[in-house]
Amino acid sequence: MNMEQRRDPERILRELQRDEERQKRGHLKIFLGYASGVGKSVKMLDEGRRRRERGEDVVVGAIQPQSTSEIDQRLSGHEIIPTVKVSGKDVIDIEQILRRRPQVVLIDGLAYDNPPGSRHAHRWQEIDELLQASISVITSINLHYIQELQEEVACITGKRPAETVPLEFLKRADDIEIIDAPAEEQQRSRLREMALLVAAEVVESELKSYLAAHHIEENWGIQERILVGITPRSDARTILESGRRNADRFHGELFVTYVRQPEISPQDQTALDKNLEIAREVGATIHVLDGRDPVRALIQFAKRNGVTQIFIGHSQRQGWWHRLRGNPVERLIDLAEGIDVRVFPQRTGS
């Protein structure tokens, strides 16, 4: 399915500019762990040492306040740019780092807030500035501090950290590496699972941009994406609840589509509204599609969004789909090349 896309000059120019910016910008690597003590700092310092041995100019910009002998031992031999005190808090000496201009700076503890009056409120913003100045950064973060996961983490741990980093910042990293370690208790297991999934998500966006940059159109279905197609008359609850359960089990995404129908009757509109309400209840993203051929509209949406499974209702009765072009389920199966189709029998109309 490799497809070379048409290359328009505008697009090539945009890409070149983006490439240039990317080349100028420092390289960001993040070590992600699900708890403190899994070895993020050690990994970071080890990587710094290896790079120095390969001739890169590496300095340490920040270390964690609680030090262990393992870390102290690894710090020796590194050039350290000491942090400065601002209102009694340790802050990276960003001006000193910019003056010193190393190739790589190690900054432990990505989620760190600076005291008021600092150049940047958050450490991740300081890192951004260093990257813009063509300095590469290696840093580490604990899952707990990812902004978007605050709710879930608080549910598990009962704690809500004050300092957070947006997931978007992690997604922008050139490299992310997860430090995985066994977890004995259930609580830690759940955090561990979340960390692995966050890493997978970051890798997914990396894969997407890689494929886009190389004009490769592939859908390998690495992340399961379930699409439930509903109509006004489908008995949507069963399908939607199953869609939700399956999406959860696969840690996948759930889409719900409805192909807009011309001249919908008031009863159908009411039924449809009810079905869309259920879709919202199960937390699906709803997409209303247009298209004279509903089957084609559904398939096009599915392919564009990397859907791996389509859930659809099927009734014995002849509905509007049938009238259009023969048996719609058969047509759907026929066109759904590369996508599983799960058909739910329905007692009500189509």
Partner 1 sequence: MSQIHESKRGRLKIFLSYAAGAGKTYRMLEEAQDLRCRGIDIVIGYFEPHGRKDTIAKTDGLEIIPRKKMEYRGSEFEEMDTVAVIARAPAVCLVDEFPHTNVPGSDRAKRWEDVLKILDAGIDVLTTMNLQHLESLNDQIWQITGIRVRETVPDWVIKQADEIVMVDVTPEALINRLKRGVVYAPEKATRALDNFFKEQSLVALRELALRQAAHEVEVRHETPRPTDRLLIHITGEPRTAMLIRRGRRVADYLGAECFAVYISESGDLSGLAVSERDAIQRHLNFARNLRIETRILQGHNSAVALVEFARREQITQIFFMRPKSRRKMFSTSNLISDTLRLGRDIQVTVVADRSAP
Kindly list the residues in this chain that would bind partner 1 in the complex (CB under 8 A): 1-2, 29, 175-183, 186, 189-190, 192-193, 196-197, 199-200, 203-204, 206-207, 210-211, 214, 216, 218, 220-223, 245-246, 249-251, 314, 316, 327, 329-330, 333-334, 336-345
Q: How far is the CB of 218 from partner 1 (least distance, A)?
A: 8
Which one, 113 or 204, has the nearer CB to partner 1?
204
Q: How far is the CB of 185 from partner 1 (least distance, A)?
A: 9
Q: How far is the CB of 48 from partner 1 (least distance, A)?
A: 14
Instruction: Specify the pairing of strand 79-80 against strand 58-62.
Output: parallel
Q: How far is the CB of 228 from partner 1 (least distance, A)?
A: 13
Which one, 273 or 334, has the nearer CB to partner 1?
334
Q: How far is the CB of 190 from partner 1 (least distance, A)?
A: 7
Amino acid symbol at 343: V
Any alpha helices (H) in 146-185, and if so which ranges? 150-157, 167-171
Residue 26 exposure: Cα atoms within 13 Å on the Cβ side:
25
> Residue holding tokens 């070590």?
31
DSSP annotation of 315 reads: E
Which one, 121 or 155, has the nearer CB to partner 1?
155
CA angle at 147 for the pair 281 and 47, rounded to the nearest 5°: 130
Which one, 97 or 191, has the nearer CB to partner 1?
191
Helix (H) or strand (E) holding 347: none
Burial 277-286, CB ≥16 within 10 A → b, else e: ebbeebebee
Which one, 100 or 190, has the nearer CB to partner 1?
190
Q: How far is CA 41 from the centre of its chain?
A: 24
Of 32, 41, 27, nearest to 197 by C-alpha is: 32
Residue 40 exposure: Cα atoms within 13 Å on the Cβ side:
26
Q: How far is the CB of 116 from partner 1 (least distance, A)?
A: 36
Q: How far is the CB of 302 from partner 1 (least distance, A)?
A: 11
Which one, 200 or 288, has the nearer CB to partner 1?
200
CA gap 12, 88 in Å, rounded: 50
Which one, 20 or 218, has the nearer CB to partner 1?
218
Q: How far is the CB of 227 from partner 1 (least distance, A)?
A: 13
Structure-derived torsion over alpha carbons of residues 197, 200, 201, 206, reported in degrees to the nearest 10:
170
CA gap 257, 250 in Å, rounded: 20
Structural contact between residues 328 and 298, judged by C-beta atoms closer than 8 angstroms? no
Of 140, 129, 161, nearest to 46 by C-alpha is: 140
Which one, 114 or 349, has the nearer CB to partner 1?
349
Q: How far is the CB of 200 from partner 1 (least distance, A)?
A: 4
Of 92, 95, 60, nearest to 79 by C-alpha is: 60
Which one, 193 or 281, has the nearer CB to partner 1?
193
What's the residue count for the chain?
350
